[in-house]
Structure 1
Amino acid sequence: MDFIKKNLEEITQSIKIYAEKANRNYSDVLLVAVSKTFPVEYIKEAYNFGIKDFAENKAQELRKKAEELKEYDIKWHFIGRIQTNKVKYIVPIAEYIHSVYREKEIAEIDKIAKKHNKIQKILIEMNISGEETKGGISENELEDLLEIAKKYDNVKVTGLMTMAPYTDDEEVIKKVFCGLKEIKEKYVKNYPDLKELSMGMSNDYHVAIQCGSTMLRIGSSIFGKRNYNIGG
């Protein structure tokens, strides 16, 4: 599995270069390795390189891997669509839940977090591109949801998340990512915990860094091509 170490060396160097170009500190950009569908051996290899943050998008797979890797000092991120009946499996494990955009999700997260005496960090998913296939809310729905979240003591909104359209047109991607940054800057005055910007994947992370991303969700550039027939 030497290819994982080689890929991580290349991508961390690339992040440093793009951060420097954007006059940002490399330490302000967190690399979250998206390990969905990949075996725990791959996670161990990345962990041995120094990666401590890993993301999964299915509750059962998250549970299984967290149990197998319980001796490792890993911060788990949940990035998938939220099924409220699976929240009970996610909250005890996840440091961050990136994909929240409905009150019923916040209410369920809060309920489970209370049971575990935990303040659950969440990010609000936003649909900046307006694509019907993507989850998330529009900007005009954001303030209402932020106000709703304030009513729940065991939930803390720490940032915003989005996905750009899958395109080679960097101007389209930049419009989405820099649009999210503008929204965050607009709302952070009244919601000072709103610090994180989760945006940028293997194909567009360089644009995300330019637009202020603090969390990059990168999978295939680290672990290779996914086989969706295995691993959930």
Structure 2
Amino acid sequence: MAQDTLAQRWKHVRERVDAACRTAGRDPSEVTILPVSKTHPPEVIEQALALGLHRFGENRVQEIRDKAAALPDRGVEWVVIGHLQTNKAKYVAQLAAEIQSLDRLDLAEALQRRLELEGRELDALVQVKTSPEPSKYGLPPAQLIDFLDTLRDYPRLRVRGLMTMAVQSEDDAAVRACFRMLHELRDRARTAGHDLPRLSMGMSGDFGLAIAEGSTEVRIGTAIFGARDSV
């Protein structure tokens, strides 16, 4: 992909996100974009770095390992957005700046142990399952407050907010309902004493709806990097 094409796509996405914010009556500065670079090679990330981007979302830990090795000392912040097995916690503790898919206690325990060994801390968003689809991961909404209470015992994990993936549907009301649920859950958690400033929700196809429901970060892949060679 030529750099000017990537630059144009990034500019267009930023403009679309800003427009969605204005339509929702929000300040565009309230919503950040997480470029999702999964399946794209280090050469493409080099182009993105040249545009001033430095945070990239990845689904697979193996990709983070390979890309981190190819891009040493470049100040890249790798963000884990995919479902994570506990046996991959070692590499997340070593390489990632953030995980947005924290959804169960055994994963928190594994990350805490590995972070202690690495002498590091890790920003974390709790992934909540707001969609009825069996293919979607996430903590059941009813368990959120108890889970957040328990995470206080894992100080290496700095819980900053919540993440979700909406139902895949042509029905905008159904999609918005998923995002609205996450916002309401965040408000309940705040009442229970948990400071959760961030809501990561919305992707290339539905970020406008997410922004209307209070998203503070949208995860955009294809619209920035183009079609993927593989999934």
Give the TM-score range, shorter chain: over 0.9
Aligned match of 1:210: 212
Aligned match of 2:125: 123
> 2:141 touches 2:185 (CA, 8 Å); kept in 1?
yes
Number of residues paired by the alignment?
229
> 1: distance between equivalents of 2:106 and 2:135?
20
- Matched to 1:145, the amino acid is F
Secondary structure in 2 matching 1:166: coil
> 2:145 touches 2:192 (CA, 8 Å); kept in 1?
no
Distance 1:29 1:37, change over 3 A: same
Residues 54-69 of structure 1 aligned to structure 2 (within 5 Å): 54-69=56-71
Relative to the length of structure 1, the TM-score reads 0.94
How far residue 195 of structure 1 moved from its aligned partner, in angstroms, is 1.4
How far residue 14 of structure 1 moved from its aligned partner, in angstroms, is 0.8
Q: Which runs of 4+ in 1 moved over 4 A?
A: none
How far residue 168 of structure 1 moved from its aligned partner, in angstroms, is 2.2
Aligned match of 1:19: 21
> 1:63 touches 1:90 (CA, 8 Å); kept in 2?
no
What are the superposed Cα offsets for residues 69-97 of structure 1, whole Å, 9 maximum, x if unpaired? 22322221001111111110112221210
> 1: distance between equivalents of 2:107 and 2:65?
19
Relative to the length of structure 2, the TM-score reads 0.94
Aligned match of 2:149: 147
- Matched to 1:25, the amino acid is D
Distance 1:191 1:78, change over 3 A: farther
> 2: distance between equivalents of 1:52 and 1:169?
34
Unaligned runs of 5+ in 1: none
Secondary structure in 1 matching 2:229: coil
Aligned match of 2:107: 105
What are the superposed Cα offsets for residues 188-223 of structure 1, whole Å, 9 maximum, x if unpaired? 233443111111111011111111111211101111
> 2: distance between equivalents of 1:205 and 1:44?
25
Secondary structure in 2 matching 1:197: strand
- 1:43 corresponds, among 42, 45, 53, to 45
- 1:157 corresponds, among 151, 156, 159, to 159
RMSD: 1.4
> 1: distance between equivalents of 2:68 and 2:119?
19
Secondary structure in 1 matching 2:65: helix
What are the superposed Cα offsets for residues 25-51 of structure 1, whole Å, 9 maximum, x if unpaired? 222211111101001111121222222
> 2: distance between equivalents of 1:193 and 1:9?
32
Unaligned runs of 5+ in 2: none
Secondary structure in 2 matching 1:208: helix
